[in-house]
Chain A
């Protein structure tokens, strides 16, 4: 199913879609662009290549309350949270879409499935938006992602000649386009041929990297690589393929709620045990965990490197310690940029 809508008419589309359920899309929030729920007057920014924070929030929310509890005397009552409503996520770029597929492997395909994630995923219609211009930090070409195309999305959208072209790729996508039928015109005369977008190419040698890393846990290169790390969690929070979480209670003896929220392997308390023993006590162990997980552990289990080249860690790390540096350190070759 192919449809087209003029850009001027997009505000009507947003309004119509959000009347049927929450609609999330890239919104300009002061100096940054973030996926936010549409509301009247929101400044939609479809030009921005990458949002500051990835859309994983829609499926693995930074905070999700999944039960309430009530205690009365010796009794404990557990009340599960209500199921989430169907939503539309609009404007996901191909790198972020690939990242969601990486998360699916952990949260849906690997037994036991995580129902909280799975329901959100099933209830969300994802509209991918192809890139027209790469961000200076993008390097998804290194991961064989074509930023101009997004196979696998429910709907793939392209910004072309003042219009938005929409092509449904799944039944969910078709349903969505049908819902907005009144606003959309037939797009069968339009060219949906994905163009080609070139991102920066670090010339990373990824083939064989996971195998190569297997024996480099004790490599002295880690002693150097971690040094500039400040020990903050920016890289993990802006990473579309990071998925660690914490489970916490909020409340008092009589009642409260339990939620899960994002957590980061970069924090000291992440692995600290009740007795005080910490298997990953320092920045070196934690940096190694993060990069080994992306480049060796995850690939060993799921057959692919857990990075999509979105460039967020290159942009956001306050000290420019990013995954490209890690890959280069451990065998990926580099093309000098400056």
Chain B
């Protein structure tokens, strides 16, 4: 009997690399025979570059994309730094998929409000593409996306052009301060969300971004009368195994890598606030 060690990575190859912002790159990755594994939007994968080790990243592409996996990665640490210096054709290790992913079935028939900040668009992007590829399943789509500056917005072309062109879809961009040649909104994401005055009826809000942004977005949504079960967010914790054993991402009875990273605000409120 050949058994499978869940910690063992498989080989994957870098197809190409896009420089999104000064510190964010998008890697397109393919397994030995096409996609290394099937997955759902919101799930993550463990990428490894020996001898620096492994780190977990959310998958940016949609499962409807069958050519490759995409990862938008910010250079913040050892492994992410190394992933910034890979070249096309280079092989890395990959294992996954990990986590629960977004509840795409429960979201069916609802209007969707995506609220992203900076690199926080990475996991949302997977879901947004998925929804566009299953357009008839979902209602009106609003996308609020912001960053510190226009240069820090990722996937600018896609966001501004293709997404905005989708039927029944509105894209709202914002940056933290005035910049030359920026004709969009200026202001923090949470404030902008409040200003846009979204109605909670039959709507689900999905938010991801830096912790401080999430904190204020949640307050804004509360003011707009969204109930906790209408708000979905993803958590970020340090992880080593991805399968709910190594203990780092343990929060109350859940392991974020296995039972998350996607939680409704209602679920989150029941957990110890250690994230």
Contact = CB atoms under 8 A, between A and B. Distances in A.
* A–B direct touch in complex (beta carbons closer than 8 A): yes
A280 B274 contact: yes
A221 interface: no
Interface in A78-109: 78, 80, 106-107
A247 B76 contact: no
Given A80-B5, A110-B244, A249-B50, 17 more contacts: A76-B90, A78-B93, A112-B6, A116-B7, A243-B245, A245-B247, A248-B53, A258-B48, A258-B50, A258-B53, A260-B246, A270-B238, A273-B77, A273-B238, A274-B78, A285-B274, A297-B250
Interface string A266-286: 000011111101011000010
A182 B252 CA distance: 53
25 contacts: A66-B5, A67-B5, A67-B8, A76-B92, A78-B93, A80-B5, A107-B245, A114-B243, A115-B3, A115-B4, A116-B5, A244-B247, A249-B50, A251-B50, A251-B51, A256-B51, A265-B247, A270-B238, A270-B247, A270-B248, A274-B55, A274-B77, A289-B250, A293-B250, A297-B250
A265 B274 CA distance: 13
A219 to B, nearest CB: 12
Contacts of A272: 238
B8 A76 contact: no
B91 interface: yes
Q: How large is the interface on B (under 10, 10 to 19, 20 to 34, 35 or more residues)?
A: 35 or more
| Interface core residue of A66, A252, A275 (most chain B CB under 10 Å) | A275
B272 interface: yes
Given A74-B87, A114-B245, A245-B247, A297 B77 contact: no
Contact of A279 (B9, B48, B77, B275): B275
B51 A263 contact: no
Interface string B4-25: 1111111100000000000000
Contacts of B268: none
B79 to A, nearest CB: 8
A300 B274 CA distance: 18
B253 A300 contact: yes
Contact of B11 (A76, A80, A275): A76
Q: Which one of B89, B241, B245 has the greatest number of beta carbons of chain A within 10 Å?
A: B245
Contact of A66 (B8, B211, B237, B275): B8
Interface in B206-244: 211, 236-238, 240-241, 243-244
Interface in A33-85: 66-67, 69, 71, 74-78, 80
A77 B247 CA distance: 28
Contacts of A243: 245, 247
A118 B3 contact: yes
Interface residues of A, number: 54
Contacts of B177: none
Interface string B51-67: 11111000000000000
Contact of B51 (A77, A252, A279): A252
A246 interface: yes
A196 B111 CA distance: 66
A262 to B, nearest CB: 10
B238 A271 contact: yes
Nearest to A293: B250
Interface string A216-249: 0100000000000000000000000001111111
B50 A114 contact: no
Nearest to B55: A274
A113 B275 CA distance: 26
Nearest to A272: B238
A256 B52 CA distance: 11
A106 B246 contact: no
A163 B246 CA distance: 42
B80 interface: yes
A250 B50 CA distance: 8
